[in-house]
Structure 1
Amino acid sequence: MKMIKKLALGVVCALSLAGAAQAQDTKTLNVATDATFPPFEYFDNNVRTGFDVEMVEALAAKMGRQVNWTQIDFKGLIPGLVAKRFDVAVSAIYITDERKKVVDFTNSYYPGGLVVLGKADDASITGPEDLKGKKVSVQVGTKSVAYLKEHYPEAQLVEVEKNEEMFNLLLTGRVDAAVTGKPAALLFASKNDAVHVLPKQVTTEEYGIAVRKDLADLTAELNAALDAIKADGTYDALVSKWFGGVK
């Protein structure tokens, strides 16, 4: 009996020490993303890359940390933070009041907004007000879904899991338009003459890094690192590389 108690005590102590060691580990930045959204994050020959990816790597370097990436569907990013599966989520996430109820955000790191991506030969859609009765592809879990349901309820939304599915539906004519973030839409349109970005923007938004609410110190640390890469020119170099210097 004494031996069993000693063994049990040893297990409890070992687990306590392991937990303490994990809590004190400040060398790893656990980051989740949905790498299907160029130019922000995507895989190129099985290598994760994009503006968000390189920016986070630069932030981590300033913080003296290594990045541990988790690939997850966009709709699981905020719930994953709430469940403490990871510490940070970066995936062209708009800062919204609804999301701020359950997670914290860093300062905005890039301006964005929703735009309509339409067919180049379709003159019937000149702005978001023309989406009434049209089939519109959107990525599930994004602001596009909630915004269109609230402001353009007569648009027929076709919700898909991945960004490329949304674009492919438009290219193949199965939907009339797509609504997504401006940088991604411009990049896609620049490579596909069959589509174009409508000049009238749907919304104006700000992208931010989402952080667990119980990690206020980490949010402050990320903000300090963001200021640092802006001061030393790293940020401008990334904007130039991925967005042609537009910010």
Structure 2
Amino acid sequence: IKPERAELVDFSEGYISLEQVLLGRADEERYTDADSLVADESLMVGVQPGTTNYFVAVELVGEDRLIAYETFPIAVQALIAGDVDAVVMDDVAGQGYVGINSDAVKIVGESLTSTEELGFIFPKGSDLVEPFNAALDSMKADGTLETINNKWFLGSEAEQ
């Protein structure tokens, strides 16, 4: 949920907290964190356009070192194939890719961002935001949201 995006659409309250990370190949030794990735100008970064990950990647290495992919699965396959050297993505998704490809990929270094909230998007002025937030509040209060997040987002913690 970013203020500049909130000028265009309405958001629900956050339903999950996450950070952004670098996903690298499991055998990667040319960089160990964001600083060493930035320092090696030969390294390319994969990212999905239109996401907050894209904007973090632009800030990190600039647009000239980005290769945009339609989806994250394609970006991860490009990483594994050696077409890019890292992918910027949410930590929850990154943990999922490591879980199913631990011999091929790893999370490199510390988080690139502080904790961010994900919210559902509604058209500006939607009268659905308030009842949707009420439902989220109810799910937070009775533990349902945490149960769902733990099941579907690999043990991530929902906003309390």
Q: TM-score, normalised by structure 1?
A: 0.58
1:138 deviates by 0.2
Alignment partner of 2:20 out of 114, 117, 121: 114
Name the aligned partner's letter for residue 175 of structure 1: V
1:18-68 deviations in whole A, cap 9, x for unaligned? xxxxxxxxxxxxxxxxxxxxxxxxxxxxxxxxxxxxxxxxxxxxxxxxxxx
1:137 matches 2:46: yes
Instruction: Tell me how large the CA RMSD over aligned residues is.
Output: 1.6
Name the aligned partner's letter for residue 32 of structure 2: T
Q: Report if the CA contact (8 A) 1:105-1:210 is conserved.
A: yes
1:99 matches 2:5: yes
Per the alignment, residue 177 of structure 1 pairs with 86
Gaps of 5+ in 1: 1-94
What percentage of aligned pairs have identical amino acids?
Answer: 36
Name the aligned partner's letter for residue 210 of structure 1: I
1:150 matches 2:59: yes
Q: Report if the CA contact (8 A) 1:131-1:154 is conserved.
A: no
Gaps of 5+ in 2: none
Alignment partner of 1:167 out of 66, 76, 98: 76
Q: What's the secondary structure of 1:174's corresponding residue? A: coil
1:96-146 deviations in whole A, cap 9, x for unaligned? 121011111111111112100011111222111222321111001112222
Q: TM-score, normalised by structure 2?
A: 0.87
CA distance in 1, matches of 2:93, 2:28: 20
Q: Report if the CA contact (8 A) 2:15-2:145 is conserved.
A: no
| 1:22-33 matched pairs, under 5 angstroms | none
CA distance in 2, matches of 1:239, 1:96: 21
Per the alignment, residue 112 of structure 2 pairs with 202
Q: Report if the CA contact (8 A) 1:127-1:200 is conserved.
A: yes
1:198 deviates by 1.7
1:218 matches 2:120: no
Q: What's the secondary structure of 2:110's corresponding residue? A: coil
Alignment partner of 1:231 out of 122, 128, 141: 141
How many correspondences in the alignment?
Answer: 152
Distance 1:130 1:154, change over 3 A: farther
Q: What's the secondary structure of 2:128's corresponding residue? A: helix
Higher relative contact order (CA 8 A, sep 6+): 2
